[in-house]
Structure 1
Amino acid sequence: MQHETRARDTKAEIHRAALELFSVQGYEKTSLREIAEQVGITKASLYYHYSSKQDLLRAIIGTFFDDINRVLELVDTLPWSAETERELLAAYLDVVIKHRDTGPTLLRDIAAVLAAFGDDLDDLIRRSRSFQVWLAGPDPSPRDRVLSAAAVEVIGAALSAGMDPSELSDADLRDHLLDAATAILALRQRHPTTSP
């Protein structure tokens, strides 16, 4: 049992080192040898956990995909209400903040991510769009859909701004982003679209 715990710790260290190197140097320019050296293990030890760099990338980003898909799947089962809207936005934020170190890798090396995930990425994009439509509320107008897309995008924009995590706790960041997203969504009620 203790060996399994050590293996999980080593994997976490590998993930952290890989993300750090991928975000600084890029996926293509980072070698498995560099990742192994940063963790303090041999390249052979790294190969024990991951058979290739793409396998490692899939493991790192795959956990984000799994977590975010669990949240996005709720759209199919939860009826929209103001309460469920805030709950689902909060759950979405929890995942995005938990995986915020993965973001720079996704953005910087989109070609590598596409090669590693392909259909999974297409599915994530489809689910994200369904989430935005759900956030727009029942019978949304085009304006409502734009506002719901803006509410989701403000989260990504704020997280990609390069703020040092030591400047703001995860809890404070979550509260501020939830307030910002719900403020954008509240514009739906203040300025309803009128038909000509």
Structure 2
Amino acid sequence: MQHATSSRDTKAEIHRAAVDLFSTQGYDKTSLREIAEQVGITKASLYYHYSSKQQLLRAVVGTFLDDLFEVLRLTETMEWSSENEREALGAYVDVVIAHRATGPTLLRDIAAVLAAFGDDLDELIARSRRFQLWLAGPDPTAADRLRAAAAVETIGAAMSAELDLSVSEAEIRAVLLDAATAVLARRGTPVGE
């Protein structure tokens, strides 16, 4: 039983080291040897947990995508209301906050991410579009749909921005949720007013 706990801790350390190195150096410039050294294990030990760098990238980005898919599925069975909208946006914000360290990897090495995920990304894009359409509300105008897309991008901006680590996650959550709902609050307003 002790070995399983140790294994999970090592895997988590590998994951954290990979996020750190992929984000700062880039996927292509990071070697498995560097990741192993940062964790304090041998390259052979790293291979015990991940058979390739691409498999490690899938693990790093995959947890984010899994959590994101879960939020996007939430609205597929949820009727739109202002309360449900805030709940869905809150869940989306929570995923972004939980995985904000992964953001630089996604943005910096989009080609590697695309190669590692392929069809999964097509599904993510389709689900994201449905989520944005749901956020646009009942009988949305083209401007409402654009506002919904802008609200989602407002939340996603936290993954690309350098956040002050002295700010609590609760504060980050409140700011992102307020910003996204402010964008959506103009729903139904004609453009230019």
Common fold, TM-score beyond 0.5? Answer: yes
Q: C-alpha offsets along residues 128-181 of structure 1, whole Å, 9 cap, x if unaligned?
A: 111111000011000100111111111122431212322x11111001110110
The count of aligned residue pairs is 191
The corresponding residue for 1:178 is 177
The corresponding residue for 1:157 is 157
The alpha-carbon deviation at position 192 of structure 1 amounts to 4.5
Cα distance in 1 between the residues matched to 2:93 and 2:114: 23
1:34 aligns with 2:34: yes
The corresponding residue for 1:188 is 187
Q: C-alpha offsets along residues 57-113 of structure 1, whole Å, 9 cap, x if unaligned?
A: 011111111111011011210010000000000001111100001111011000100
Cα distance in 2 between the residues matched to 1:192 and 1:115: 41
Q: Is the 8 A contact 2:97 2:169 kept in 1?
A: yes
Cα distance in 1 between the residues matched to 2:2 and 2:101: 28
Q: Which runs of 4+ in 1 moved over 4 A?
A: none
The corresponding residue for 1:124 is 124
| Structure 2 unaligned blocks of 5 or more | none
Cα distance in 2 between the residues matched to 1:20 and 1:164: 17
What secondary structure, in the 3-state scheme, does the structure 1 residue paired with 2:101 have?
coil
Please give the TM-score of this superposition, normalised by the length of structure 2: 0.96
Identity percentage of aligned residues: 73
The corresponding residue for 1:169 is 168
